[in-house]
Amino acid sequence: MILTDNLGDKWVVEKGKIKYYDYAFNHDINQVSVVDYDDDGKIDLYYYNETHTKVTPLNPQNSRI
């Protein structure tokens, strides 16, 4: 499955649980972000697994991330 973000970049859906530093597609805003630690060194991966989909760039040379 391929998803297109709000900038027009295309992303391939990956299997598996989202981990730190994965690319994740946010379905609420149609944007991809990198799952990273926040200021206190923690992040709620449950949130990412509930509202995001793990993805990789379809064409890494054209990806804006």
Three-class DSSP category at 56: strand
For each of the chain's 65 residues, which pLDDT tens digit applies?
999 999 999 999 999 999 989 999 999 999 999 998 776 667 788 889 999 999 999 987 766 67
In this structure, is residue 65 part of a structural domain? no
Q: What are the tokens at 37?
A: 């630690």
pLDDT at 45: 87
In this structure, is residue 62 part of a structural domain? no
In this structure, is residue 29 part of a structural domain? yes
In this structure, is residue 11 part of a structural domain? yes
Total of domains in the chain? 1
pLDDT at 63: 67
Segment (H or E) for 4: strand 2-4
